[in-house]
Amino acid sequence: MKLLGLSGSPAKKSSSRTLSAVDKALSFAKAYDETVHARSINIRDLDVQFCDGRDPALYGGDTKEVIDQITDADAIIFGTPVYRGSYTGILKNVFDIIPNNVLVGKPVGIVVTGSTQHHYLAIEHGIKPLLGFFHAHALPGGVYAHSNHYAENVLVNEDILERLDQLAKALVDFTKLIPADRNILVGASGPVIPWESLLKGSHSP
Ligand SMILES: Cc1cc2nc3c(=O)[nH]c(=O)nc-3n(C[C@H](O)[C@H](O)[C@H](O)COP(=O)(O)O)c2cc1C
82 lines ligand 1 (CB under 6 A): yes
* 204 assigned to some structural domain: no
Q: What does the pLDDT look like over 54-65, one tens digit per residue?
A: 999 999 999 999
CATH (domain of 63): 3.40.50.360
Whether residue 27 has pLDDT greater than 70: yes
Q: How far apart are the C-alpha atoms of 172 and 142, rounded to whole Å?
A: 14
63 lines ligand 1 (CB under 6 A): no
Range of the domain at 59: 2-199
* 10 assigned to some structural domain: yes
Enter the pTM of the model: 0.96
Q: How far is the CA of 163 from the centre of ligand 1 (A)?
A: 20
Q: What does the pLDDT look like over 104-163, one tens digit per residue?
A: 999 999 999 999 999 999 999 999 999 999 999 999 999 999 999 999 889 999 999 999
* 205 assigned to some structural domain: no
88 lines ligand 1 (CB under 6 A): no
Q: Residue 10: its pLDDT value, please? A: 97
Q: How far apart are the C-alpha atoms of 175 and 74, rounded to whole Å?
A: 7
Looking at the 3D structure of the chain, how many domains does it have?
A: 1
126 lines ligand 1 (CB under 6 A): no
